[in-house]
Amino acid sequence: MKIISVVGARPNFMKIAPIIKEFSKYIKKGYNLEHSLVHTGQHYSPIMSEMLFQQLGLPEPDINLGIGSGSHGEQTGKIIIEFEKVLQEYNPDLIIVVGDVNSTIACALDAKKLGIKVAHIEAGLRSFDMDMPEEINRILTDAISDFLFITEKSAITNLSNEGVSQEKIHFVGNVMIDTLLSHLEKAKEKNMTKELGLISNEYVVVTLHRPSNVDNECSLESIGNVLAEISKNKTIVFPVHPRTRNKINEYNLDGLFSKENNILLTDPLPYLEFINIISSSYAVLTDSGGLQEETTVMGIPCLTLRENTERPSTINDGTNILVGLSPSNILNTYNQIDKSIKRKIPEKWDGKSAGRIVKIILEKFSVTTT
């Protein structure tokens, strides 16, 4: 059996790492299996890509399409053109795509039109907000995938409502949490908090990159003002995504997001260093999807600066609270954080999801030792 896994953007790397490790185990045991990794190059700067590959123990991609940045149409279109050539040359039996980025839908579409089976990991999540490019990518990818591996039960309802048949849906848990649990000890040994001069529980970590938050001058400035208020009591650490960095510069907001306001801006951090600072933070303010899940497992309060989430189990079970963009709502919720309340870890977020996924794939394709 020939399989191609696809990665493109930062969160994809954490999701595919445990899958590749799992396949390697079966390949070592002599299973009749060939696996290749394709990086579309959607994220290309060393800090957003290369360093994460190293830390996660990912093999060098067999192919890097080198697509880079561009408008959605341009980026998605270029990936479609280039990945089709790869499929024609390799002719795999299955491709695996993860998450909801432009690379996910582009590659799924190519494969499906060539009659190649598609497995989508992290299927069925819905924010019901079609202004999010990721929501469009999710719906379209799920509509054409053959195997839908889901992280939480809300996805069963979502997919059923869209007419996806039950036999395609597999509730396996969360591969991003596999990666978190297997790297947590190593991450805690890092010295990032010390290097940044942070005191445990006395700082708040912020990440922002959603176009709806950062591509709008008013929103970005309003968020900056909220952070300046919070930073009167706790240091703010803000590893800045390249998109957000560009916008802070463009809108001349450097004075607001500054050391003078007790807001520490850093480059995006490598995975282990990032988990290191999250693990002893007081709270997290974010618009990221993955971070809502990681904070839930680490028991760190997470205020999500969005009106919706496609990950309801992080709210129902975990530490996540949707606060939207209203400054008073963000500050009120922040002031009511109670770290003594114990929350649950969602079902099957136990570090064994990749094992479940690979087992299902090998069974469905009747792969055995040669």
Smallest distance, ligand UD1 to C-beta of residue 75, A: 6
Q: Is 241 a catalytic residue?
A: no
Q: Residue-wise over 23-38: b if at least 16 C-beta within 10 A, else e?
A: beebeeeebebebbbb
Could you give the C-alpha distances from 136 to 5, 61, 100, 125, 171, in angstroms and in order?
21, 27, 8, 11, 22
Which residue has 């060098």 as its token pair? 60
249 binds ligand UD1 (CB under 6 A): no
Chain centroid offset of residue 37 CA: 18
Distance of alpha carbon 118 from alpha carbon 122, whole angstroms: 13
Smallest distance, ligand UD1 to C-beta of residue 310, A: 11
Nearer to ligand UD1, 48 or 196 (CB): 48
Distance of alpha carbon 259 from alpha carbon 107, whole angstroms: 42
Helix (H, G, I), strand (E, B) or coil at 209: coil
Distance of alpha carbon 149 from alpha carbon 168, whole angstroms: 8
Nearer to ligand UD1, 22 or 142 (CB): 142
What residues form DSSP beta bridges with 210? none
Nearer to ligand UD1, 22 or 100 (CB): 100
44 binds ligand UD1 (CB under 6 A): yes
Smallest distance, ligand UD1 to C-beta of residue 211, A: 7
Nearer to ligand UD1, 45 or 368 (CB): 45
Helix (H, G, I), strand (E, B) or coil at 35: strand
**Rounded to the nearest 5°, which phi and psi values hold at 242?**
-55, -40
Nearer to ligand UD1, 43 or 356 (CB): 43
Q: How many residues make contact with ligand UD1 (CB under 6 A)?
A: 20
Strand order in the sheet with 203-207: 263-266, 235-239, 203-207, 283-286, 302-304, 320-322
Nearer to ligand UD1, 8 or 346 (CB): 8
- Per CB under 6 A, contacts with ligand UD1 among 23-42 are 42
78 binds ligand UD1 (CB under 6 A): no
Nearer to ligand UD1, 228 or 265 (CB): 265
If you ran DSSP here, which 8-state letter would residue 238 be given?
A: E
Distance of alpha carbon 182 from alpha carbon 290, whole angstroms: 16
Q: Which of 45, 54, 201, 249 binds ligand UD1 (CB under 6 A)?
A: 45
- Per CB under 6 A, contacts with ligand UD1 among 117-146 are 133-134
Of the residues 43, 183, 209, 241, only one is catalytic, namely 209
- Per CB under 6 A, contacts with ligand UD1 among 157-196 are none
Residue 218: count of CB within 10 angstroms of its CB: 9
77 binds ligand UD1 (CB under 6 A): no
- Per CB under 6 A, contacts with ligand UD1 among 199-218 are 209
Residue 242: count of CB within 10 angstroms of its CB: 15
Smallest distance, ligand UD1 to C-beta of residue 249, A: 12
State the amino acid at position 102 in one-letter form: N
Smallest distance, ligand UD1 to C-beta of residue 289, A: 6
48 binds ligand UD1 (CB under 6 A): yes
Q: Which of 101, 119, 285, 325 binds ligand UD1 (CB under 6 A)?
A: 101
Q: Which of 21, 39, 43, 138 binds ligand UD1 (CB under 6 A)?
A: 43
State the amino acid at position 12 in one-letter form: N
Query: Where does this chain bind ligand UD1 (CB under 6 A)?
Result: 9-11, 42-45, 48-49, 69, 100-102, 133-134, 209, 241-243, 246
- Catalytic residue numbers read 209
